[in-house]
A = this chain, B = another copy of it.
Amino acid sequence: MKISEIGEFGLINRISKDTIINPKNILLGIGDDCAAYHASPDKIVLATCDMLVENIHFTLSTCSPRQLGRKAVAVNISDIAAMGGIPCQALLSLGIASSTSVEFIDQLADGMKEEAKLFEVNIVGGDTVRSPLGLVINITLIGEVEPDLMVKRSTARPGDLIMVTGELGGSAAGLILLLKEKKYSSVPLNIAEEVKLAHLSPAPRIKEGRIIARERLANSMIDISDGLASDLTRICEASAVGAKVYASKIPILSAAKEVGGLIKRNPLDLALYGGEDYELLLTVSPQKADNIIKSLKKELNAKVSVIGEIREGQEGIKLEDLQGKVSDLQPKGYNHFRR
């Protein structure tokens, strides 16, 4: 069945089912001119949005509509995690071709609702429009954080240790395999699946972000969407500081190392420049680093690694490679509109 057979209102009716996970404070969900809800009186509001465009951010040949829906929500949740916040309400705009099947949209919406439900996010509003030339998804996510716990990008301090949650490089390795499925068909299935999933199904680090915020452990934080090098550069620019990162200390996903070897791509490059790992990159006063490692281990059995330190601004942003050679860390990563 095509969307043209059920029309815009039929479509909205299907999408708007089961979108309110946490009805407390919600006055109006989908269906009026605006959504309406009570904000927590003692918290700061956080708001973020991401637009995903077919064949730029995703291709429907490499991901299922359900995976796409989950990821579209997850990348926004990751932005809330990077502030130490809690995600609350989402607004969803969909641009779709009339010839799209209702089943496709149902699965896309199901994926969005699954991810939203996992983090107790309500889908309170949105817009559905025709987009003849390809699928466009915009999600706006509204969250909250206690005023004294919010972690910004702009407050890294010289002397801070640079830390990163989890392991990097999986998403970039996965994307390469997804785009060149045939060329790399010799990569063993289990490690291929692991890195593809890292790309298709990122796990936003809300729990990690909340622990880091709650225990006031970080001076600055960002999520890794464009790549460690790019996102560290953002922290440094916003904070007017420099940094030194040690290649030997960067935690690289074991499967990404294996894939990198097999497809002749340096795993360190995947970790530094690949992006879309959606881990948290933070800077921390040295005396608090052990606290973070212990708290994340104890409460979530999660890994966090020290990878370098924040320096004075005039020292620039440096990478010490595996041979001990120091050079400028280039903020290579995804840049829309680059030449």
Please tell me which stretch of A138-146, A186-194, A309-317 contacts chain B, meaning at least 4 of its Cβ atoms lie within 8 angstroms of it: A138-146
Q: Name the distance in Å between A119's Cβ and chain B's nearest Cβ.
A: 15
Q: Which of B3, B56, B85, B95 is close to A130, meaning CB atoms less than 8 Å apart? A: B56
A-B contact pairs, 17 of them (CB 8 A): A8-B338, A11-B337, A32-B83, A33-B80, A34-B46, A34-B48, A34-B79, A34-B80, A48-B91, A49-B138, A51-B95, A51-B127, A53-B95, A57-B129, A96-B337, A128-B337, A130-B337
Stretch at the interface among A147-155, A157-165, A259-267, A283-291: A147-155
Minimum Cβ distance to chain B for residue A316 (Å):
18
In the complex the two chains form, what is the Cα distance from A223 to B127 in whole Å? 15
Q: What is the CB-to-nearest-CB distance from A31 to chain B, in angstroms, rounded to a whole number?
A: 7
Residue numbers in B under 8 Å from A125 (CB-CB): 47-49
Chain A interface residue count, Cβ-Cβ cutoff 8 angstroms: 76
Q: A27-B150, A130-B336, A133-B133 are in contact. Are A44 and B37 (CB under 8 A)?
A: yes
Q: What's the least CB distance linking A20 to chain B, in Å?
A: 14
Q: Which of B32, B49, B85 contacts A127 (CB 8 A)?
A: B49
The docked-state distance in angstroms from the alpha carbon of A138 to that of B44 is 24
- CB within 8 A of A142: which of B27, B47, B143? B47
A194 to chain B, nearest CB (A): 27
Q: Chain A 108-145 against B: per-residue CB contact (8 Å), 1 yes, 0 no?
A: 00000000000000001111111111101010101101
The complex places the Cα of A8 from the Cα of B334 at a distance, in Å, of 10
Q: Return the chain B residue nearest A47 by Cβ.
A: B35
* CA distance in complex: A5, B338 (Å): 7
Partner pick for A45 among B5, B7, B36, CB 8 A cutoff = B36
Q: Are A32 and B154 in contact (CB under 8 A)?
A: yes
Cα A308 to Cα B215 with chains together (Å): 61
Does A181 sit at the interface, judged by CB under 8 A?
A: no
> A38 CA to B146 CA in the complex, in Å?
11
Tell me, in angstroms, the Cα distance from A121 to B152 when the chains sit together. Answer: 23
Residue-by-residue, is A221-238 near B (CB-CB < 8 Å gives 1, otherwise 0)?
A: 111000000000000001
Check if A129 sits within 8 Å of B56, measured CB to CB: yes
A295 on the interface (CB 8 Å rule)?
Answer: no
Please indicate the chain B residues that have their CB under 8 angstroms from the CB of A8 in the complex: 335-338
Q: Which of A27-81 contact B (CB under 8 A)?
A: 27-28, 31-39, 41, 44-53, 55-57, 79-80
When the two chains form their complex, are residues B7 and A335 in contact, meaning their CB atoms are under 8 A apart?
Answer: yes
Question: Is A304 interfacial (CB 8 A cutoff)?
Answer: no
A339's nearest neighbour on chain B, judged by CB, is B4
A128–B336 touching, CB < 8 Å: yes
Interface contact A91-B338, CB-CB below 8 Å: no
Closest to A32 in B: B153
A73 to chain B, nearest CB (A): 15
Closest to A35 in B: B47
